Amino acid sequence: MTNTLHKTLDSVADTQDFLRRHQTKEMLRFMTCGSVDDGKSTLIGRLLIETGAVYDDQLAALHRDSEKHGTTDDSIDPALLLDGLEDERQQGITIDVAYRYFHTAKRKFIIADSPGHEQYTRNMATAASTAQLAIILVDARKGLLTQTRRHSFIVSLLGVRHVVLAVNKMDLVDYDQTIFDNICREYRDFATGLDIPDIHFVPISGLRGDNVANRSDRISWYEGAPLLHILETVYIGDDNAIHDFRFPVQRVNRPDADFRGYSGTIASGSVHVGDQIMVLPARKTSRVQSIVTFDGARASAKTGEAITLTLADEIDISRGDMIVQADHIPLVSRQFQATLVWMSEQPLVPGKSYWLKQTTRRTSAEVESVNFRTDVNSLQQMDCASLKLNEIGECRISVHDPLVYDAYRQNRRTGSFVLVDRISHETVAAGMIVIPIGEVSQGDHWDGELRSKRLQYTPSRVSSDSRTKRYGHSPLTILITGLSGSGKTTIAYALEERLFAQGRAVMVLDGQNLRRGISRDLGFSAEERSENLRRAAEIAHLMNQAGLICIAAFVAPDPAIREKARQVIGTDNMLHIHLSAPVEVCRYRDSSGRYAAADRGEIVNFPGVTIPYEKPGDANLVLDTERLSVEQCLDLIEQLLSRKLGVAGTKPA
């Protein structure tokens, strides 16, 4: 029963070595989910005992209690360790989450344990918000329940990337492998609809300790690792570490006139002295001059570290601003879509003003409308006007001061927020930002009036003919359309490379890239897609005026909009190449998870999934990218070009 971890330290020399090893441990925060009586308390108690987190005096008391309760035959009942919560439940005290601690030689663990009642969506969300891993308990006798699905959905929604499905009470089903296998299979099928990249399965008996800390002889058919081993080894390199640098300013540190620093915790990415940064929302740029800590100056710092930055230029920066890497900046807007988990007895009132806290920023916010509510049991989306306690829904939110954010999927720290009631100060909702909504682009600018009648058009004195002579070809826009995953980007860049090698002045205009810059304010509604294409068409037109060949890769699902783009660019200057591949193929090729996200309703208006894609009848060339190789496609495009440009694939004179 008692663990061997600590008993082997026979000398102080051992201890020093032990201390040194322990000082380099990592930390894992995990949560436990299960319905009442699935054995959650038993399992947690077991983990605490086996790792030595229970002191001898507590253990002795546990032995006495176990005898008294007569709960189990000869041994102790680990669940009694957690009895504190039981008492409180009876007193009607709200326990949302209890935290417990244990450690092994490899890691320190923090368990967030939330009670498994029906109505406790809010507590699970709280526990999941800081968890890196979730243990989902299933009673081997009962198999997957509605609750299992609900727990998994919430875990996935809150961005927990690692799940261990622990099939418990294996002792009560004679350690039967087929029962375990069937539960695993069923769960795997179910989980494909969720966003959980890493799932482990382990058969256990929390009561008897099978496969908890040690591999069990009674489950010899199981070849995987015991639960504790999984917890000790699952890869938890901070996913945020690889992302773009984000540093919400928490405090301006100004001890005297000579020093002005910005203190905060790095939300993602890393920073080095000398890096180009931008301060948002003001969009001021500067360089990192120094990274200051109590323990000395640093050359660099990374995700999760609490540091103080000084900058090369004097910029007005205050708490709530965000310092980011200058070439990859987050979104800034006053409106966005977010999934809310409603946490208050008082239902959501659309249009009511709440406080909003996101990173270190406070502002007021209102929920303009609820797009839909997701039933946590059936995962069905349904229309609804408001949200009640424990309900989850996607909403359109507007804020008073612009927020600087990333989508929650990309960045848990910059994509999350809470709503607080202005009078009671109760935390009423947890929010996860889904996608931005454009601020500028409301309405249609294709045929819009000019803002002033006095705007003049001044023609260039360099004629387009002279440009054609200089470049050896006339300007052209090649519009490549097709579904997400049809190969637009691949073909566009390959084509650019080939034409450039032939001496052509050519450049790709990429829909995604535009959204990082000139169309950063745009979302994905039909209007916003249309506006993105309008801007692209204008840019293509400018490039053509400059004499360049422009390769524009866009989904462009709407024939009416494509026609408008053609008018902006000019029919003579444009070739339309459509890439056709069955939607299943595109979906299969898609590595970005966009189809899956669209299926879950996280991306609305996704062509091919939620809105139709009409095959264009006006294309100059249709390429079947399911059958044709990239090279074959390029060859076909080149044949078309040589006719159009009047020059066969030869180097211009």
The yes or no reply on residue 88 touching other proteins (CB under 8 A) is yes
- What six digits make up the tokens of 94? 């709200």
- Of residues 167 through 206, those in contact with other proteins by CB under 8 A are none
- What six digits make up the tokens of 312? 């090369």
CA distance 590 to 607: 14
The yes or no reply on residue 409 touching other proteins (CB under 8 A) is no
Which segments within 131-280 are labelled E, that is strand?
133-139, 162-168, 198-203, 246-248, 251-253, 261-265, 270-272, 276-280
420's contact among other proteins, ligand GDP, none, with CB below 5 to 8 A by partner kind, is other proteins
The pair phi, psi for residue 538, each rounded to 5°, is -65, -40
The yes or no reply on residue 464 touching other proteins (CB under 8 A) is no
Among 1, 36, 242, 299, binds other proteins (CB under 8 A): 299
324's contact among ligand GDP, other proteins, none, with CB below 5 to 8 A by partner kind, is none
Nearer of residues 60 and 648 to other proteins, judged by Cβ:
60
The yes or no reply on residue 410 touching other proteins (CB under 8 A) is no
Looking at the DSSP bridge assignments, the partners of residue 432 are 339, 416
52's contact among ligand GDP, other proteins, none, with CB below 5 to 8 A by partner kind, is other proteins
36's contact among other proteins, ligand GDP, none, with CB below 5 to 8 A by partner kind, is ligand GDP
Collect all residues with Cβ–Cβ distance below 8 Å to 343 and sequence separation of at least 6: 122, 125, 126, 389, 390, 427, 428, 429, 430
The yes or no reply on residue 172 touching ligand GDP (CB under 6 A) is yes
The yes or no reply on residue 253 touching other proteins (CB under 8 A) is yes
The yes or no reply on residue 19 touching other proteins (CB under 8 A) is yes
Nearer of residues 42 and 580 to ligand GDP, judged by Cβ:
42
Half-sphere exposure of 445 (CA within 13 A, CB side): 17
The yes or no reply on residue 239 touching other proteins (CB under 8 A) is no
SS3 552: strand
- What six digits make up the tokens of 548? 């360049």
SS3 219: helix
* One-letter identity of residue 42: T
CA distance 74 to 108: 31
Tell me the per-residue interface mask from 149 to 168 with ligand GDP, x by CB under 6 A, - otherwise: -------------------x
Among 38, 366, 496, 531, binds ligand GDP (CB under 6 A): 38
Q: Is 520 exposed, middle or buried (0-12, 13-18, 19+ CB in 10 A)?
A: middle
Span from 49-57, 62-70, 386-394, 433-441 in contact with other proteins (CB under 8 A): 49-57
Among 38, 210, 275, 394, binds other proteins (CB under 8 A): 275
The yes or no reply on residue 41 touching ligand GDP (CB under 6 A) is yes
The yes or no reply on residue 345 touching other proteins (CB under 8 A) is no
382's contact among other proteins, ligand GDP, none, with CB below 5 to 8 A by partner kind, is none
Length of the chain: 653
The sheet carrying 506-510 orders its strands as: 506-510, 549-554, 476-481, 574-580, 621-624
Among 89, 117, 251, 283, binds other proteins (CB under 8 A): 251
CB of 402 to ligand GDP, least distance (A): 45
Span from 9-17, 187-195, 547-555, 558-566 in contact with other proteins (CB under 8 A): 9-17
Tell me the per-residue interface mask from 50 to 79 with ligand GDP, x by CB under 6 A, - otherwise: -----------------------------x
296's contact among other proteins, ligand GDP, none, with CB below 5 to 8 A by partner kind, is other proteins
**Strand pairing report for 392-405 and 331-342:** antiparallel
The yes or no reply on residue 294 touching other proteins (CB under 8 A) is yes
The yes or no reply on residue 272 touching other proteins (CB under 8 A) is yes
The yes or no reply on residue 125 touching other proteins (CB under 8 A) is yes
> Do 138 and 167 contact (CB within 8 A), yes or no?
yes
Among 1, 37, 99, 630, binds other proteins (CB under 8 A): 99
The yes or no reply on residue 98 touching other proteins (CB under 8 A) is yes
The yes or no reply on residue 245 touching other proteins (CB under 8 A) is yes
Report CA dihedral (540, 542, 547, 549) to the nearest 10 degrees. Answer: -10
Q: Give the total of residues touching ligand GDP (CB under 6 A).
A: 16
The pair phi, psi for residue 629, each rounded to 5°, is -80, 170
The yes or no reply on residue 425 touching other proteins (CB under 8 A) is yes
Residue 381 CA: distances (Å) to CA of 221, 340, 376, 378, 416? 41, 14, 9, 9, 22
Reduced 3-state DSSP string for 482-538: CCCCCCHHHHHHHHHHHHHHCCCCEEEEEHHHHHHCCCCCCCCCHHHHHHHHHHHHH
Q: Give the total of residues touching other proteins (CB under 8 A).
A: 96
